[in-house]
Amino acid sequence: MTRSALERLDAVELARGLARREIRAQDLMRACLDRIAEREPQVHAFAHLAADAALEHARQLDAGALRGPLHGLPLGVKDLFDTHDMPGAYGSPIYSGHRASWDAAAVALCRDAGAIVVGKTVTTEFATFHPGPTRNPHDTTRTPGGSSSGSAAAVADHLVALALGTQTAASIIRPAAFCGVVGFKPSIGRTPRAGMKLLSESLDTVGGFGRSVADAGLLASVLTGDARLQVDAPDGATVPRVGGFQGPDWARADADTRALWDRVSQRLATLAPGSSAVATPAWFEPLASLQTDLMLHEAARGLTDERLRHADLLSPRLSANLSAGLAVSATAHATNLIAVQRVRQQAASLFGNHDLLIAPSAIGEAGPAADGTGDPVFCRAWTLLGLPCLHLPLGVGRHGLPIGLQLIGRFMEDERVLQAGAWLHPRLHD
């Protein structure tokens, strides 16, 4: 295989070749760096690129013993995670030139498993709504989504094999949808948050991106320490029963998403007997609003220092959101936290006899970059409930841009979601 083709392989294929020493880590790294040199001026996926250090790390891995399941894989790290050897600004000028003396736990786990950090990928301002410079690699006039914009774009454009992301509302699933890659948000609490800039104590979840479901599972297995998340899709796998959940905001879905939904529903009726539509219970309808109030209040409290000492360096959008968060009283927030516990206990009732649910990931294709990072409406409730979510790219919309749907599982049934996703993805994809 030519070096120039290496960067286009899925992470699991590369991992096998690296483990067998059929692929050299330095050849893979050079292929990725060549691709970055070609595409980064248009895509702007990186806030900081450590090309020389990454290549030296690859040489060391080639000369030494196998490190772990991510041995030699190029990794992008969302610039919300601290790294001991690279600057990190959390998407804000307040932290320009900031350097930590430690790695975030998620980064350290990936390095320990053999991953090579190529650089810090662009995040929106403190993982909120003010966009960074990253553009959608399928059309650079379009948004890649947020807040894990650089990570999703880097994986989609073959700049890295895997990338770390975080989700507070829709920050993994929506960028995965807009960029046409697989994004996985594990069950809340399964992945460590130490060493990352928190936005919401109750909601922030660490996950990531790959170009296949198996890729996403490989990364998740390292982040959780659970090797069962390294999934495959044997022909003899148990056929999942899938519940179709349009949700209370279905009227917001555009024509492309509606057409995709109809096509997928027809295929599921043949592929997966026992699959059927799921009605939206009354208790589910206010969850998006509850998630918004919870996130804004906790962001306003968590960003108190930035708000008080550096107000002039906050974007107008973030300043307005922090003001809205401060307007949620402590009493109201306490009531909201009680409500969250209650609905999380009710979440299992959504599934009935189904193994998992399928739901929209986004309204439709990625919109113009000038209009912002997109609407998180179809993800807010699932993040609030803390359930595992897996975006599957399944086709393209009217402008030729990626569209897809997400699978949602019961709390802590991450393996089932990934296994079902690995089986369903090639059967549902156009």
Which residues are annotated as catalytic? Answer: 78, 147, 171
The torsion angles phi and psi of 129, rounded to 5 degrees, stand at: -105, -10
Question: What separation, in Å, do the N-terminal and C-terminal C-alpha atoms of the chain show?
Answer: 27
- Work out the number of other CB atoms within 10 angstroms of the CB of residue 171: 34
| Gap between the Cα atoms of 6 and 160, Å rounded | 11
Q: Which of 196, 26, 41 is nearest to 126 (CA)?
A: 196
| Gap between the Cα atoms of 153 and 181, Å rounded | 9
DSSP string, 96-124: TT-B-SS--HHHHHHHHTT-EEEEEEP--
Beta bridge partners of 389: 185, 408
**Pairing state of beta strands 182-185 and 205-210?**
antiparallel
Q: Alpha carbon of 156 to those of 4, 31, 183, 411: distances in Å?
A: 16, 15, 11, 28
Q: Alpha carbon of 39 to those of 137, 143, 159, 399: distances in Å?
A: 9, 16, 8, 21
| Gap between the Cα atoms of 119 and 94, Å rounded | 20
C-alpha torsion sign, points 147, 150, 153, 155 = negative
Per-residue buried b or exposed e for 17-52, using 16+ beta carbons within 10 Å of the residue's own CB? bbeeeebbbbbbbbbbbebbeebbeebbbbbbbbbe
Q: Which of 367, 356, 359 is nearest to 409 (CA)?
A: 356
Q: Alpha carbon of 125 to those of 176, 303, 353: distances in Å?
A: 19, 12, 41
Beta bridge partners of 46: 121
**Pairing state of beta strands 116-121 and 46-49?**
antiparallel
DSSP string, 28-60: HHHHHHHHHHHHHHHH--EEEE-HHHHHHHHHH
| Gap between the Cα atoms of 296 and 323, Å rounded | 9
| Gap between the Cα atoms of 416 and 220, Å rounded | 13
